[in-house]
Amino acid sequence: MKRPGARPEAVGSDCPGTVLQPPAPPPWMRWLPALFVAGVLAVEPITPVDWPVSFLLIAVPLLAAFAHGPVAVATITVLTVLFEGVLAGTPCCAGRSVGYLWDRHYVASYVSTALVGAIGTLLAAHRTRRERTLATVRSVAETAQRVLLRPVPHRLRDICVETLYLSAAAEARIGGDLYEAVPTAYGVRLLIGDVRGKGLVAVETAATILGAFREAAHDEPDLTGVAHRVERSMSRRAEELAGDEADERFVTAVFAEIPDGEPVVRIVNCGHPPPLLVAGGRVVELDATDPSPPINLGVLAGDGYHQDVVALHPGDRLLLYTDGVTETRDRSGTFYPLTDRMRAWSALEPRDLLDHLHGDLLEYSGGRLDDDIAALAASRMADGPVRGDAAGPA
């Protein structure tokens, strides 16, 4: 699944045996050696005879090593040495002659360029191997992420659902943010969560949570029952771990249920940032009246998980998100003002809303995200069957 807003992925193939290739360097980097040579040629005729600027050409192989492979770097090195000889033996306005061709200073330049070229060739080979390894690792990470975060249909019955996922790191790192939307006999049930930690531990925990939710969403008649089932699954998995690692695996999550034919949404918040409801041009934070603890800290739940019910009429929009959104900072360290931004986008459809959120987050942070970001927007379609009425959010 190609998620909106995802960072550029490694170029590869799903076919077995295909060698994954790293992304190509930018054009300016590939042309940097030629631009450097052009600069040297521009300066050479106007310098005194005692200042052989052509010695600067020994840097060309190293510049080539940044963007070219080892064979190309070796070839550029040979061409540079030959070009230095041509440049040394070409008469110019400075009075140089063919006699300079084997001058000891130029011989030293040839040897230095060849030596730097050999080093550049080794560096290019090392860089190429590392880039291919990283491309493979990133491909595996992306595949694992696709398995966890399956594509969510854009419409589930009369509910429009859109998702957004942004990775904080350009290198291969699998985050712990998760989301899911499941149509059930009790309505469309939604989940968004944030696993403590990163990497394979977070992936394993996210897989446990998502697997439990996908089953419980169909079996449990009450949303609180879904939360209990997920809690039990997570607790059983944690018991298999040794030491303090089990206690450190917890997930903040929001469970939501939009029942068929009722203009309401039911919410169980387990230590997660409150969802936002956009209704009638207003943006309301749906704070839990009785917050529940994160998943795998159910021992703190006391008499159980608690559910809130608020109105969700046709055209209203519900936004679930992880704390990576609200904890995004600008250059001055100010947190992202999500609620204020949402007021300006209250008329947007879920897809457009998330697209605006994506672009605004990148612009606000200067393209430097400190945490993974997941968001899920849901809206009841105006042509969906709705009966009854419900009070709006407090």
Residue 7 has pLDDT above 80, yes or no: no
In a shared domain, residues 181 and 329:
yes
Last residue of a domain, one of 141, 175, 207: 141
Comparing 49-53, 78-82, 116-120, the range with the smallest average pLDDT is 49-53
CATH number at 329 reads 3.60.40.10
In a shared domain, residues 222 and 307:
yes
Residue 351: per-residue pLDDT: 93
E-strand stretches of 36-80: none
The SS3 of residue 76 is helix
In a shared domain, residues 52 and 117:
yes
In a shared domain, residues 84 and 202:
no
How far is Cα 35 from Cα 41, in angstroms, rounded to an integer?
A: 10
Comparing 61-75, 259-273, 331-345, 359-373, the range with the smallest average pLDDT is 359-373
b/e code 357-369 from CB counts within 10 Å (16+ = b):
bbebbeebbeeeb
In a shared domain, residues 71 and 205:
no
Last residue of a domain, one of 141, 169, 184: 141
In a shared domain, residues 58 and 113:
yes
- Closest residue by Cα to residue 371 from 176, 225, 168: 168
The SS3 of residue 295 is strand
Whether 329 is covered by a domain: the verdict is yes
In a shared domain, residues 126 and 158:
no
Number of folded domains that form the chain: 2
Its domain, for residue 135, covers 27-141
Residue 40: per-residue pLDDT: 82
Region 353-371: mean pLDDT is: 89
Structure token digits, residue 331:
């250059």
Region 289-308: mean pLDDT is: 78
Comparing 126-135, 272-281, 284-293, 297-306, the range with the smallest average pLDDT is 297-306
Region 24-43: mean pLDDT is: 84
In a shared domain, residues 97 and 226:
no
Whether 180 is covered by a domain: the verdict is yes
In a shared domain, residues 178 and 313:
yes
In a shared domain, residues 57 and 78:
yes
Whether 387 is covered by a domain: the verdict is no
pLDDT in tens, 206-230: 888 999 999 999 999 999 999 999 9
- Closest residue by Cα to residue 258 from 177, 314, 342, 206: 314
- Closest residue by Cα to residue 385 from 196, 123, 187, 111: 187
Residue 88 has pLDDT above 90, yes or no: no
In a shared domain, residues 164 and 243:
yes
Comparing 88-97, 279-288, 309-318, 323-332, the range with the smallest average pLDDT is 88-97
Residue 378 has pLDDT above 70, yes or no: yes
- Closest residue by Cα to residue 308 from 335, 289, 282: 289
Last residue of a domain, one of 141, 163, 191: 141
Which position has the token pair 């041009």? 281
